[in-house]
Structure 1
Amino acid sequence: MQKIAGDFTANLPGADLEHRLDPDWDLYKVSGKVFMLMTDLPGRPVVVLKADPDNAAALREQHADITPGYHMNKKHWITLEGGGTVDEKLVKQLVTDSYRLVADALPKSKQP
């Protein structure tokens, strides 16, 4: 799932990968704003994405492998874990949605 999400960001205009002090975290940004994080929790790789609050709640209800955002605002972020309920199409859609939520909130001069 992390490979799908990470590879998919190559198609997103202005998406950059950044490593902070902790090399275990990958931060994906657009114009300096984070739209996706990836790390490994004990025994499980995760992808953390921004989501519309109403959509995030529905996703958590529909998919056992989608939980509130790890280390992020639980209302506006979701965590994806590899599992049977999250397929490649859904991962790509959620990455796109997260990217658009962040990119569309940028001032016009900073939008990709």
Structure 2
Amino acid sequence: MNKYPAIHKAALQLKGTKHDYKAEWAADRYFVGKKMFAILGTNKEGRNILTVKVEPSQGEILRIENPAIIPGYHMNKSHWVSVLLDEEQNEEFLAKLLAHSYEQVLQKLPKYRREEIGDM
């Protein structure tokens, strides 16, 4: 189990979420409809990060308002942000980011995938 059980639990509570562990990345990955919406791992400095998908305008605002939020590590910088978990530990805020990321991915899934998940 990872070092952030509250984040893990919050992600798995989102309907249809699947989880795996990618050993090469040393990261927990969370998917909905076979599309990734969150990664819990470390960056090249070894800092613990949570990387989530956001609306591009929302990501810019988040980075301005919160110094713990940086452009998405190894991801598209306009669509993903990473949260430095040693600086941001508000579990409620992190759960909201996860839910937002989940919704971003869920909305883009084909109708049949959303029906499989029970979103329709």
Q: Which residue of 2 aligns with 1:92?
A: 95
Moved more, 7-16 or 78-87: 78-87
The count of corresponding residues between Structure 1 and Structure 2 is 112
User: 2:47–2:86: 8 Å Cα contact kept in structure 1?
Assistant: no
TM-score, scaled relative to structure 1: 0.90
- RMSD after superposition: 1.7
Paired letter, 2:47: R
The counterpart of 1:19, out of the listed 18, 21, 26, is 21
Equivalent-residue separation in structure 1 for 2:23 and 2:86 (angstroms):
29
Equivalent-residue separation in structure 2 for 1:77 and 1:84 (angstroms):
18
Higher RCO (CA-CA < 8 Å; seq separation 6+): 1
Gaps of 5+ in 2: none
Q: Identity over aligned residues, as a percent?
A: 28
Equivalent residues in 2 for 1:3-18 (5 A)?
A: 3-18=5-20
Q: 1:63 to 1:86 in 2, by over 3 A?
A: farther
Paired letter, 1:29: F
Equivalent residues in 2 for 1:61-76 (5 A)?
A: 61-76=64-79
TM-score, scaled relative to structure 2: 0.84
Paired letter, 1:59: L
Q: Which residue of 2 aligns with 1:30?
A: 32
Equivalent-residue separation in structure 2 for 1:16 and 1:34 (angstroms):
9
User: 2:48–2:86: 8 Å Cα contact kept in structure 1?
Assistant: no
The answer to whether the aligner puts 1:50 opposite 2:53 as a matched pair is yes
User: 2:51–2:83: 8 Å Cα contact kept in structure 1?
Assistant: yes
